[in-house]
Amino acid sequence: MKRVLSLLLVVVMLLSMAACSKEAEKPATTPDAPAVAGNSGKVTIWAWDPNFNIAIMNEAKARYQKDNPNVEVEIVDIAKGDLEQKLHTNLASGVTAGLPDIVLIEDYNAQKYLQSYPGSFADLSGKVKHSDFVNYKVGLMTIDGKVYGVPFDTGASGFYYRSDYLEQAGYKHEDLVNITWNQFIEIGKKVKEKTGKKMFGFGLDDGGLMRVMLQSTNQWYFDKQGNINMANNEALKAAVKAYKDIVASDIIKPTSGWNEWVAAFNSGDTAAVVTGVWITGSIKAEASQSGKWKVAPTPRLDVAGAVNASNLGGSSWYVLESSKNKDVAVDFLNKVYAGDNDFYQKILIDRGAVGSYMPAQGGASYAADDAFFGGQKVYTDFSEWMKKIPSINYGLYTYEADSAIFSVMPDVYSGALSVEDALKKAEDQLKNQIGK
């Protein structure tokens, strides 16, 4: 009986503790905004990927604290999907107590956050010199002329290939520069014939490559006004057609999900990868393939206006309006991400991170040749391609559009639906969903 009572007591205690801390915590939630510009205080940052964004942020923190020893910086490592859940829950509940000062947001989602939660992010126009950054990145964080973030890494894309396999198939680097996707398929067939290797790992329900194809044509699932543009979008038709041709041509190793896709090139089973520059680290992880890789410009679609440069992914830093140390947070981003040239050289060497800060691209690290890529100055090449990436406003509904298109793709592959009919069906579905 005694034990029972003590257990009950524990429960009651727990409950009363809950009630007490309600009282105790109250003052802390009232924002009394100390925000002294004397650069002290605490800045909390949310980001994902311990070996990339987090590691880079730690470097930035070390640099900033050298001059501002009184600023405390806490970097919280949260998985990307988790971070989005957390951010949505916090923003949607209207409670600011749990929000960080700085948060990392993927470019495709930027407009969605900015427009869904108006007033939640700090306007940085005039506070950060945005003209120093690559144009397309700044466009993604702008609403009504106000710029809301500090651009970070780029997803400039490239056509990574195994020079040994392609040589065996009779191709030199010049043959692979500025090609179209049709040529790419032909090359793939030749590679298959001569080496027995598949051209690349390919996710049948992965929209990544379609985004690469579309952006190279300066088109998107939506027009510049944000209206759905699918059924009559020539670029999109060409992209869907390219997907169909690629699948039909037997040059792919079908993969499902990230790991299988990475394994496809790490294992040496495939000859190429077409994706964003952030994949460099994963390619280099297989050290035994050193010297066997090279990078060519991204293939383009056979559509008027298409260029051999595109983008996949990339993200930027945003400051929350509710931040108690907003000025310090902005100063931190400004000093390091919009001013420290040497920082960008260091993160490129250490982490393979290609920033979108243009003054840094004349630096020594960008000009270095890379033995893994047979001495090619890959980062010089990527910076060149980066400048040619068409500036696209992804709008609010990229993920919805992806989902609509890829729910009809199995029928496109099997031939049950023509490309036109499939796009019509996807467009109807999307219209119904987003109500436009």
Partner 1 sequence: MERASKKSFIKIQNRYGWFFVSFALVLLGIFLIYPILNSLYLSTTSTKGIVQKSVGLTNYVKLFKDQMFLTALKNTFIFFIIQVPIMLLLALALASILNDKSIKLRGVFRTAIFLPAVTSLVAYTVLFKMMFSLDGFINTILMNLHIIKDPIPWLMHPFWARVTVIIAMTWRWTGYNMVFYLSGLQNIPDEIYEAAEIDGASKLQQFFHITLPMLKPIIVFTSIMSTIGTLQLFDEPMNLSQGGVTGSTTGPGNSLLTMSVYIYNLCFKFMPNFGYAATVSYVVVFIVATLSIIQFRLAGERK
Partner 2 sequence: MKTKKIITRAFVYAFLIAAFVVSVFPFYWMLAGMTNNAIDVIKGKMTFGGQMINNLKVLITSHNLTGVLANSFKVSIATVIGTLLVSSMAAYGFEVYESKGRNRSYAIILLSMMVPFAALMIPLFRLIVRFGLLDNHLALIVTSLASVFLIFFFRQSFKSFPREIIQAARVDGAGEIRIFFSIVVPSMKSTYAAAAIYAFMTSWNAYLWPLIILQTDKQKTITLLISSMSSAYFPEYGVIMAAIVVATLPIIILFFALQSYFVQGMTGSVKQ
Binding positions for partner 1, rule: CB under 8 A: 11, 81, 84-85, 88, 91-92, 94, 112-113, 115-118, 120, 203-208, 211, 253-261, 275-276, 312-313, 396-397, 399-400, 402-403, 405-411, 429, 432-434
Considering beta carbons, is residue 204 or 358 the nearer one to partner 1? 204
> Quick one: which of 143, 144, 159 has its CA closest to 293?
159
* CA 407/CA 83 separation, integer angstroms: 26
- The kind and range of the H/E element at 216 are helix 208-216
Among the listed ranges 13-21, 62-70, 296-304, 327-335, the one in contact with partner 2 (CB under 8 A) is 13-21
* CA 211/CA 23 separation, integer angstroms: 51
Q: Side-chain half-sphere of 352: how many Cα atoms within 13 Å?
A: 17
Indicate which of partner 2, partner 1, none lies near residue 154 (CB less than 5 to 8 Å, by partner kind).
Answer: none
| Maximum C-alpha span of the chain | 86
Cα 381 to chain centroid, rounded: 20
- Our finding on whether 21 is near partner 2 (CB under 8 A) is yes
Indicate which of partner 2, partner 1, none lies near residue 52 (CB less than 5 to 8 Å, by partner kind).
Answer: partner 2
Select the residue interacting with partner 2 from 148, 152, 165, 278 (CB under 8 A). Answer: 278
> Quick one: which of 195, 45, 93, 136 has its CA closest to 391?
136
Q: Find the shortest distance in angstroms from Cβ 195 to partner 1.
A: 17
> Quick one: which of 233, 232, 284, 275 has its CA closest to 255?
275
Do 113 and 121 contact (CB within 8 A), yes or no?
yes
Do 264 and 251 contact (CB within 8 A), yes or no?
no
- The kind and range of the H/E element at 273 are strand 270-276
Q: Find the shortest distance in angstroms from Cβ 411 to partner 1.
A: 7
Indicate which of partner 1, partner 2, none lies near residue 304 (CB less than 5 to 8 Å, by partner kind).
Answer: none
Tell me the C-alpha to C-alpha distance, in Å, between residue 216 and each of 54, 312, 392.
Answer: 30, 11, 10
Considering beta carbons, is residue 22 or 193 the nearer one to partner 2? 22
* CA 290/CA 293 separation, integer angstroms: 7
44 backbone dihedrals φ, ψ, rounded to 5°: -105, 140
DSSP 112: H
Q: Find the shortest distance in angstroms from Cβ 281 to partner 2.
A: 5
> Quick one: which of 281, 336, 356, 315 has its CA closest to 83?
315
Indicate which of partner 1, partner 2, none lies near residue 208 (CB less than 5 to 8 Å, by partner kind).
Answer: partner 1
Q: What character string, x for contact with partner 2 (CB under 8 A) and - otherwise, covers 233-272?
A: --------------------------x--xx--xx-----
* CA 368/CA 215 separation, integer angstroms: 29
Tell me the C-alpha to C-alpha distance, in Å, between residue 72 and each of 38, 205, 322, 337.
Answer: 13, 43, 18, 18
Tokens of residue 209, six digits: 């490559």
Select the residue interacting with partner 2 from 72, 245, 286, 411 (CB under 8 A). Answer: 286
- Our finding on whether 30 is near partner 2 (CB under 8 A) is no
Q: What character string, x for contact with partner 2 (CB under 8 A) and - otherwise, covers 82-121?
A: x--xx--xx-xxxx-xx-----------------------
Indicate which of partner 1, partner 2, none lies near residue 7 (CB less than 5 to 8 Å, by partner kind).
Answer: partner 2
Q: Please work out, in degrees rounded to the nearest 5, the angle formed at the alpha carbon of residue 204 by the alpha carbons of 390 and 269.
A: 95
34 backbone dihedrals φ, ψ, rounded to 5°: -70, -45
Select the residue interacting with partner 2 from 35, 40, 65, 76 (CB under 8 A). Answer: 76
Among the listed ranges 35-43, 48-56, 318-326, 336-344, the one in contact with partner 2 (CB under 8 A) is 48-56
Considering beta carbons, is residue 380 or 407 the nearer one to partner 1? 407
Indicate which of partner 2, partner 1, none lies near residue 24 (CB less than 5 to 8 Å, by partner kind).
Answer: partner 2
Indicate which of partner 1, partner 2, none lies near residue 112 (CB less than 5 to 8 Å, by partner kind).
Answer: partner 1
Q: Find the shortest distance in angstroms from Cβ 166 to partner 1.
A: 23
Total number of residues that touch partner 2 (CB under 8 A)? 54
Q: Contact residues for partner 2 (CB under 8 A)?
A: 1, 4, 7-8, 10-11, 14-15, 17-19, 21-26, 28-29, 44, 48-52, 74, 76-82, 85-86, 89-90, 92-95, 97-98, 259, 262-263, 266-267, 278-279, 281-282, 285-286
